[in-house]
Amino acid sequence: MLRAVHDCGATRTRSQLTRDLGLARGTASVLVAGLAEDGLLHEEPAPEHARGRPTQVPGPHARGPLALAVDIREDAWELAACELGGRATVLGVRPHDGTPEGVLGPLGETIAAHARRLGSRVIGTGVALAGPVRHGGLVDIAHLGWRSVDVPRLLGLTPAPIVGNDTAFAALAEARRGRLQGVRVGLHLHVDFDLGGVLIVDGRPLAGASGTGAEFGHMPLTGDERPCPCGATGCWSMDVGANALLRHVGLAHGGGRGREQAELVLTTSQEAVTANATALGRGIAALVNAHDPEVVILSGHGAELYERAGETLLAACEPGLMTIRRDHPPRIEASALGWRGSLLGAMESVFDAFLTPEGLGRWRENHLDQGGDTPEEQNVTHSTLKGDKSP
């Protein structure tokens, strides 16, 4: 029941959930009442209902579980608290100096301070990073010079956070709440300062043997010998992303610098946009030939490139497709989640760990005196959280 409420965004009525889960009405009533008693669910009347008894919509409890989610980009981080159902309240956005200690030390202190304030409601922390993640927390971010950085150790949090690649988390969120829902094989490409990607199969990103699979941006697709900060040459991401936009117009790039300038280039230099869109389309063709996805989703600057130069992108993609792919090419679409996908994917990783018998068992042990439902405090804006809300 909790998984169903979470996955639907707390929008379905109890009657609908009862049918979805194949439960008897009496069983569902007892189940929802017990979850409300545990401080996990609270019901509100549906916004619209037919005559007769009001229809109830199970949603997050005012004192219910919260996942802390962080998106660490190359120039800043964003921290949010997320309820069951997926609504996020942004607690802070901060620029950083790009060094492991300068990023992770202050961030860990900020997370710990919010965890103390929110108390036992916090069920875990998910952290998205713009680089490959190995062995549960060792991170490499080539553009910042990070090599085998032990993120959990530098954050200093207890319990340890769940750490993952930003594109993999964005793809997970897209599979749960975006345009990859119900897609058996999908390709997600996220473009920020450079390009990352992941293949989604049956709703899950494929991580690879060591957790660092699908580094599509580092395939040698440019046809030249330019060295990439990752250590390889000719990487696709050298031609796609904010760094490529800045490089195209002769501006300084690298090291997580120039986000605002890159946004300006997107709106003022059609030549730079065309070059980026062309390189993106050619690379998509290679991945479609290799993986046969049903749909290709673009997020970050990828969505902006598709909006501004979609015809150019498609024209560059088509000649690279095998004939059997060209007859029935996959859909190419912009993400439904915008730039928020990585943050929401970090949230999903925490709720995936929580929505288990073990996770709920720990919740009950820590909330033995929960003491029933509190309708007047159901909404997050009526609880201890403050900040900007987003779906």
Cα(189)–Cα(196) distance, rounded to whole angstroms?
6
In the chain, the domains with their CATH numbers are 2-60 (1.10.10.10), 66-169+340-390 (3.30.420.40), 182-335 (3.30.420.40)
* 3-state SS, residue 124: strand
How far, in whole angstroms, is CA 122 from its chain's centroid?
Answer: 19
Tokens at 360, concatenated? 């709920």
Tokens at 155, concatenated? 């954050």
What's the mean per-residue pLDDT of the chain? 91
* 3-state SS, residue 40: coil
What angle (nearest 5°) sits at the alpha carbon of residue 242, between those of residues 316 and 216?
A: 60
Output the pLDDT for position 370: 57
Output the pLDDT for position 388: 55
What angle (nearest 5°) sits at the alpha carbon of residue 343, between those of residues 143 and 209?
A: 65
Tokens at 209, concatenated? 């043997």
Cα(239)–Cα(280) distance, rounded to whole angstroms?
8
| E-only strand ranges, 156-226 | 162-165, 185-191, 195-201, 204-205
Which residues are CB-neighbours of 161 under 8 A, at least 6 positions away?
70, 111, 124, 125, 126, 127, 137, 151, 152, 155
Residue 8: count of CB within 10 angstroms of its CB: 17
Q: Which residues pair with 195 in a beta bridge?
A: 191
For 201-248, how does the pLDDT look when each residue is reduced to its tens digit (9 = 90+)?
Answer: 999 999 888 888 888 999 998 778 889 999 999 999 999 999 999 999
Cα(388)–Cα(181) distance, rounded to whole angstroms?
26
DSSP-assigned states of every residue in 322-338: -HHHHHSPPEEEE-SSG
Handedness of CA 226, 228, 233, 239 (dihedral sign): negative
Percent of the chain at pLDDT > 90 equals 84
Residue keyed to tokens 């991945």 = 287
For 124-162, how does the pLDDT look when each residue is reduced to its tens digit (9 = 90+)?
Answer: 999 999 999 998 799 999 989 999 999 999 999 999 999
List, in sequence order, the alpha helices (H) in the chain.
2-7, 14-21, 25-37, 100-118, 151-155, 166-177, 242-248, 259-268, 270-291, 301-317, 323-327, 341-354, 357-366
Residue 12: count of CB within 10 angstroms of its CB: 19
Please give the chain's pLDDT, 391 residues, in tens: 999 999 999 999 999 999 999 999 999 999 999 999 999 999 999 887 555 566 899 999 999 999 999 999 999 999 999 999 999 999 999 999 999 999 999 999 999 999 999 999 999 999 999 999 998 799 999 989 999 999 999 999 999 999 999 999 999 999 999 999 999 999 999 999 999 999 999 999 998 888 888 889 999 987 788 899 999 999 999 999 999 999 999 999 989 999 999 999 999 999 999 999 999 999 999 999 999 999 999 999 999 999 999 999 999 999 999 999 999 999 999 999 999 999 999 999 999 999 999 999 999 998 876 545 544 443 443 334 445 555 4
Considering only CA atoms, give the Rg of the chain: 22
